[in-house]
Amino acid sequence: MNARLDIHTVPLCHVIKGETVHGADLEFGPSNARFTTPRLDLDRLVWLRAEPGPAFDTPLAEIMDILVATGAWLKADPKGWVAEALEFTVKTSPLPRDVLERSYASLSRLFSRRSMEFQVQQELGGADVLDSWREIDTPAGRHVRIRAFPPRLIHIIAGNAPGVAAMTIVRGALTKGVHLIKIPSNDLFTATAILRGLAEVAPGHPLSRSFSAAYWRGGDESVEGRLFLPQFFDKLVAWGGESTIRTAQKYIGPGFELVSFDPKTSISMLGHEIFSSPSLLADAAERASIDATLMNQQACVSSRIQFVEGSIDEVDRYCEVLQPRLGLQRETASAIGRPVAGDLRDEVDALRDMEPYYRVWGKCDGSGLVIRSEAPVDFQPDGKMVNVVPVKRLEDAVRYVNIATQTIGVFPQERKLILRNALAAAGAQRVVTLGGAGTMEAGLPHDGFLPLSRFVRWVNDE
């Protein structure tokens, strides 16, 4: 590698069917975060339908054994590849080093056998339907069999948290299919580090040969137009913003289905009870700040708008308590995030001059900023920014909920029982006690559906 690449770029390898592919044939990225990749061999990125996938008939118990061993390998990092991936990620990711370090340190938790068994039981009803044909007696007296048949999937994963790559690999392995992961530009190295570990734990094993991970520029028709086809794959599993999902949709047709983790936002709802004592107010603000700063507000579960039941004076008191807590270091957040971007900074500065209709606490330096407004602002809060909206009744905030609202944190938790049906009817997919937005657990519905059930192909033998 020449001196220019040593200084300005980082090398990204591909993993193709369990084999690591190195090369610096292509160069991508902005001027401050350039990276190189091997040249793509599209023929190697597909599994022909004439043959079953490598792990189609591998017992699930054996797959879980390998995944557990992979989690242990990631934690021990005997080759130093996880540490190397972290260092490269620090150079190219929008997240700060301390958040990435803690995220990488927790990757092995996602390879827990107990978690995997829970996922299979809750989402598929048990391992029998993956390992063989489940026998069912129908109301008509017929004896039939069904199987959750291994799928052929392309994954366009999100890069806003390293755990997404790990979660995708675990789900893919549990469903025994073949999987091509498109590496995201904002998390270039996590997926390949995990797959290299998998290949070290089980070299040449059918499970290792069932995964590939490669980078190409999203929307590149010369690549996607040749790969996103039903003769190679059953489904496209897409995470991301509106542009990513819309690009994915244009390839969907008969025999090629979209499983979409749509772009989502999350909110909080705080009842008037928080003003009954200073300690309860402080507790509520602490919980709300945890939910607002997840992955420095880059995660879809991060609360950006908070509806607070109370008078303007009460809500302003809450804002004063909330703002300094946004600047605390947490497991999933740094004390100081990225400064608010220029255009958004101009919007905020304009609001400072519009009291009493708006009021602003904090600075645009990434340490946390709160905007109180009579209705939600017409821009997307970002950069550890929270928009607080006073309401007379929490029920009044339901009208702001829609199908793009993923997680809603409610406090006190007793108010969930009153609100959850109305929130679900409005489109929300997840209601939690305030402070629990980040505790998304595999095996529960995700974005309104059970992923393992959607990943597989359900086949009948009648």
Q: pLDDT for 43-60, tens place per residue?
A: 999 999 988 999 999 999
The per-residue pLDDT for 433 is: 97
- In this predicted structure, the answer to whether residue 2 has a pLDDT above a threshold of 60 is no
286 vs 300, residue with greater confidence: 286
Name the nearest CA neighbour of 352 among 336, 333, 337, 372. 372
The interaxial angle of helices 81-92 and 190-201, nearest 10 deg, is 170
Q: Give 18's DSSP letter.
A: T
The per-residue pLDDT for 375 is: 95
Tokens representing 139 are: 């109301």
**Residues 6+ away with beta carbon under 8 Å from 390:** 307, 308, 309, 310, 311, 312, 314, 315, 372, 374
The per-residue pLDDT for 5 is: 39
Q: Give 220's DSSP letter.
A: -
DSSP states along 39-55: PP-GGGG---TTS--TT
- In this predicted structure, the answer to whether residue 461 has a pLDDT above a threshold of 60 is yes
pLDDT class of 264 with cuts at 50, 70, 90: confident
Counting residues of the chain whose pLDDT is more than 70, the rounded percentage is 98
β pairing state of 34-37 and 303-309: unpaired
CB atoms within 10 A of CB 54: 22
Q: pLDDT for 64-94, tens place per residue?
A: 999 999 999 999 999 999 999 999 999 888 8
- In this predicted structure, the answer to whether residue 286 has a pLDDT above a threshold of 90 is yes
The per-residue pLDDT for 4 is: 37
CB atoms within 10 A of CB 30: 8
Name the nearest CA neighbour of 305 among 368, 239, 396, 397. 397
With beta carbons less than 8 A apart as the criterion, state whether 422 and 283 touch.
no
Q: Mean pLDDT of all residues in the chain?
A: 93
The per-residue pLDDT for 15 is: 97
Average pLDDT (23-44) is 91
- In the sheet where 9-11 sits, what is the strand order? 9-11, 34-37, 26-28
The position carrying tokens 């990711």 is 93
The per-residue pLDDT for 140 is: 95
- Partner residues linked to 432 by β-bridges: 409
> Which helix H or strand E contains 386, and what residues bound it?
strand 385-391
Q: pLDDT for 307-327, tens place per residue?
A: 999 999 999 999 999 999 999
- In the sheet where 369-373 sits, what is the strand order? 358-362, 369-373, 385-391, 303-309, 265-270, 405-411, 430-433
Q: Give 77's DSSP letter.
A: -
Q: pLDDT for 335-372, tens place per residue?
A: 998 888 888 898 898 999 898 899 999 999 999 999 99
pLDDT class of 163 with cuts at 50, 70, 90: very high
Report all structural domains of the chain as residue ranges with CATH numbers, in order of start.
3-262+447-461 (3.40.605.10), 265-433 (3.40.309.10)
**Residues 6+ away with beta carbon under 8 Å from 176:** 53, 55, 56, 58, 60, 63, 130, 150, 210
Q: Give the whole-angstrom CA distance, residue 134 versus residue 218.
A: 39
Q: What is the pTM of this model?
A: 0.92
Name the nearest CA neighbour of 120 among 68, 69, 176. 176
With beta carbons less than 8 A apart as the criterion, state whether 348 and 340 touch.
yes
